[in-house]
Chain A
Amino acid sequence: KAGVTQTPRYLIKTRGQQVTLSCSPISGHRSVSWYQQTPGQGLQFLFEYFSETQRNKGNFPGRFSGRQFSNSRSEMNVSTLELGDSALYLCASSLGYWDKPYEQYFGPGTRLTVT
């Protein structure tokens, strides 16, 4: 089975711009979660999509948004970029059933640098 893929792998943007990151989950997985990782804050949960619906959301401002398509692929968008948005953005896919123990499969991440 192909793993989780994320595109692009590296991105440099300027403050005020917007960016869209893409994630393709493992075939058959219906849940996609997004995380932000920074040296200062560690791994922070952004949101989770399951069957095209946002099922959970972390404590991030409205500039961070996402969506999921019918093929389970997901995108996240950050508008009006700030320097503090520089981070590694990780996407993870899973079967998505929280009442059963399960594991998440992570992509390699997108390294976003905001200048």
Chain B
Amino acid sequence: SQQGEEDPQALSIQEGENATMNCSYKTSINNLQWYRQNSGRGLVHLILIRSNEREKHSGRLRVTLDTSKKSSSLLITASRAADTASYFCATVGTDKLIFGTGTRLQVFP
């Protein structure tokens, strides 16, 4: 079973635009992570935010976490064609990582 639901399921934008993806989860967490997956390949860790943090930045990525609403968002600024991939949030409770359903991002040149 999946912990997180991501919204939207799919997103298409032009290069240079910003992309925002949202993740909602159900139970209390230790931390929340975002991963990227290029078509049919392994996942790559992007960023981790701890439960006591509200916002974190890494390059063109900005992640927010609202534990009261059990939700997180990932913002990719100034998107590039190379950002085309599926993005997953994953929550860490006490003993395992549980992935959300993913958002498929398509960035057109």
Contacts and interface: CB of A to CB of B under 8 A. Distances in A.
A104 B40 contact: no
Interface of chain A: mostly helix, strand, loop or mixed: strand
A45 B98 contact: yes
Interface string B86-109: 001000101111111110000000
B45 A105 contact: yes
Interface residues of A, number: 26
Interface residues of B, number: 25
B108 to A, nearest CB: 23
A106 B44 contact: yes
Interface in B16-70: 30-31, 33, 35, 40-45, 48, 50
Contacts of B102: 42-43
Contact of A56 (B31, B95, B100): B95
Interface of B: 1-2, 30-31, 33, 35, 40-45, 48, 50, 88, 92, 94-102
10 contacts: A4-B42, A35-B99, A42-B102, A45-B97, A55-B95, A59-B1, A104-B45, A106-B43, A109-B41, A109-B42
